Structures are given as structure tokens and as C-alpha cells.
Amino acid sequence: MRTSDVLANGTKRPLTAEEAAHLLSVEDRGLAFYNDIFAAAFDVRQQAKGREFILDGFLGTVCECTISPPCHYCARATMVDFPPPLGVEEVRDGARYIQGTGTRRLEIGAGTNPARADHIVQCARAAAESSTLRVWVNAGPCLTKSHLEQLKDCGVEEVGASLETINPEVFLRIKPGDNMEKRMQLAREIKAVGLKLTSVMMVGVGSDIEDYVKHLFWLKELGVDHFPITGLNPIPGTPLATARAASPLEVCRMVAVARLVLRDADISVGGMMNDPRLLPLQVMAGANRAIHLGAHVHRPRRTGGFRNWPAAESKEVNDLIFSNLRPTSEAILRELGLEPT
């Protein structure tokens, strides 16, 4: 199989699993390889999405996570006390602020907490009622079918169910307190009730090429609507503190392969890619959306959390941080000929 033939095929039709595996296993990479794969993926991105690039807003967390032990890459694994989650009125204020930045979509972030699933629904409803934002919810496997139906009824469009890896051994190694089958079931239920599915893959946690391809085609078969691809970002104080961080090119190669396989799904990036300086690379690789490069409302945190980019607007009011990376991200996107939404 020749890389040039695979890429020529990829501009005309979705790649097969064998072709995707080929692009992920090319060893003799270098500038020419990245130039060609990104050109093919960007071409498909433009066909599917035109000039639009979505900058989601983020509001959270609205409930503490009860996964125990915490996932090994998560800031919760530092065991530093986390600030209290946001209440319903704070969600209303946050949604209004985020709408005022020009944002059109909003992620409500939540931990996995069955006892607080009703509160997650209340927060999503509050955000939808107090703004014109298109709201989506990202929580762990704690939402029942009834919660999903309630979310749909209050106007939520999209719900997250993320595996990070489809390899059960790797999953258990990095998420020893979590349950992969429950997450797969939630993903299936989200689609079954007629909501859009967001599902994250994390690059650099031990998945091999076979795992990546299996994961990608599992999502394709489910009909994933939004596929965020993150890269391991080792956080000091966590069990993965000394692991190798994923490289931006490793993440963006996956973005490009995902674009050539999934075609018109939204593809975004995260983890160690949450930096406006890496936005041009994401766009070139075929991404059309970024979750954490827009406006945020969250509590001040002593560990992990979101970087305050110097050009961002940022203010702290009543123990909430209101920050806006849109001016920086929008300028980069416009320079690339794209229209931020």
C-alpha cells in the first residue's frame, strides 16, 4: 500500500480500516508526510465544513466526580481539594456571560456522580433557558435513559460518553475506578434517544495502532457526531506525572486520519493541545472545532484547570473565573481564512 494512493483515495471517499492503519503506521514520516496528510485532511474538512470553525464555551464543573480511585491522568488524582461545583444560579450567570462573548455553543462539564445526575439536568436546563446557546453536556456514565430524555426535552443537543481508549487493559490501567462497558452503553443510549454523541479519544496513554483503528471504526459505526481527540498531558502529582506527554504531531496525525475516515463529524482537540499557539496545526490537520479555546466560567483552581492566556479577558467575581480566549483564537482563525462561530 502506498501512502500517496491512500491519500488520493481519502480525498474522494472515506478511508477503510486498512488504509487508516497504514497512515498511522508510516514510520518514515517527516515534513513531506505531514504536508501530504494534512493537505488531504484539510481538503476534506473544507468540503464538509466550509470556512466555519466552532469555538465552544465551557462552564463547569457542575458536580464533583465520585470515580474512585480517580483516573490517573486527571487533576483529581493529585488529591488536592477541589473547589465546590457550580450551582444553578451560577450556571445562569455563566451562560449569559458566555453568550455575551459571541459564543454559540456551550459545554456543561460534570463529573461522574449518579447522585447528582438530576442536578446536571437542572444546570443544563438553566443554561438553555437563560441563553440562546446550543448546550451540550459532558458527564461520565451517570446519566440514565430518563436523564437523557429530560436533557433532550430541555433542548440539549449533544451528550458526551468518552472511552479515551478502546483497549480494556489500557482503560483499566489509566481509569482503574471507571467502567468501560458502562461508557459504551451510555454512548449507545445517547444515539438511541436521538441526541448527538460526543466521544473523546486520548492519544499517548498506551493504545496501539490496532486500538486506535478499532476505536475510530467503533465510533464511525455508532455515528459519532463530535470526536474530540486529546493528548496525554501529564499533571504533576498524578500517577502519570512522569509519563511522556503526547506530541502535537501525534495528536494531529490522528485528527487527520479521523477526518479522512469520519468525513463530516465535528472533530476537535484537547488535553495538551488546549493552547491557541497550537490552533493553526489543528486546523491544518482537519479539525473544525475547539472546546477549550473560547470562553470559560469555572472556579479558581490550585491545580490543573485552564491556562489563562495573556491576551484573554479574565476576571474573578464571587469566586468564579470568567475568562475569554476568543479574541486570541478568533484572530488566528481569521488569519487562516476561517470564520469563527
Contacts of 83 (CB under 8 A, 6+ apart): 299, 300, 301, 319
**Which is nearer to ligand SF4, 23 or 67 (by Cβ)?**
67
CB of 177: closest distance to ligand SF4 in angstroms?
7
**Which is nearer to ligand SF4, 10 or 160 (by Cβ)?**
160
Q: Does 70 bind ligand SF4 (CB under 6 A)?
A: yes
> Binding ligand SF4 by CB under 6 A: which of 40, 44, 54, 67?
67
Q: Does 74 bind ligand SF4 (CB under 6 A)?
A: yes
**Which is nearer to ligand SF4, 305 or 327 (by Cβ)?**
305
**Which is nearer to ligand SF4, 15 or 123 (by Cβ)?**
123
> Binding segment for ligand SF4 among 69-77, 90-98, 124-132, 148-156 (CB under 6 A)?
69-77
Q: Does 65 bind ligand SF4 (CB under 6 A)?
A: yes
- Long-range contacts formed by 184-192: CB under 8 A, 24+ apart: 185/141, 186/141, 186/143, 186/161, 187/161, 187/163, 187/222, 188/222, 189/145, 189/148, 190/148, 190/159, 190/161, 191/222, 191/223, 192/145
Provide φ and ψ at 318, rounded to 5°: 50, 50
Q: Does 270 bind ligand SF4 (CB under 6 A)?
A: no
Nearest Cα to 275, choosing from 246, 239, 302, 254?
A: 246
List the grid coordinates of 296: 470559560
> Are the C-beta atoms of residues 246 and 231 closer than 8 Å to each other?
yes
Give the interface size with ligand SF4 as a residue count (CB under 6 A).
10
**Which is nearer to ligand SF4, 112 or 323 (by Cβ)?**
112
Q: Does 170 bind ligand SF4 (CB under 6 A)?
A: no
DSSP labels, 112-125: --GGGHHHHHHHHH
Q: Does 111 bind ligand SF4 (CB under 6 A)?
A: yes
> Are the C-beta atoms of residues 231 and 250 closer than 8 Å to each other?
yes
DSSP state of 164: B
Q: Does 62 bind ligand SF4 (CB under 6 A)?
A: no
Contacts of 115 (CB under 8 A, 6+ apart): 66
**Which is nearer to ligand SF4, 109 or 286 (by Cβ)?**
109
Q: Does 112 bind ligand SF4 (CB under 6 A)?
A: yes
Q: Does 228 bind ligand SF4 (CB under 6 A)?
A: no
Q: Does 140 bind ligand SF4 (CB under 6 A)?
A: yes
> Binding ligand SF4 by CB under 6 A: which of 45, 49, 76, 298?
76
List the grid coordinates of 309: 492566556
**Which is nearer to ligand SF4, 22 or 76 (by Cβ)?**
76
Place of cell 453536556: 137
Q: How many residues does the chain have?
A: 341
Q: Does 204 bind ligand SF4 (CB under 6 A)?
A: no
CB of 254: closest distance to ligand SF4 in angstroms?
19
Q: Does 180 bind ligand SF4 (CB under 6 A)?
A: no
Q: Does 251 bind ligand SF4 (CB under 6 A)?
A: no
Contacts of 218 (CB under 8 A, 6+ apart): 166
> Are the C-beta atoms of residues 267 and 288 closer than 8 Å to each other?
yes
Binding-site ranges for ligand SF4 (CB under 6 A): 65, 67, 70-71, 74, 76, 111-112, 140, 178
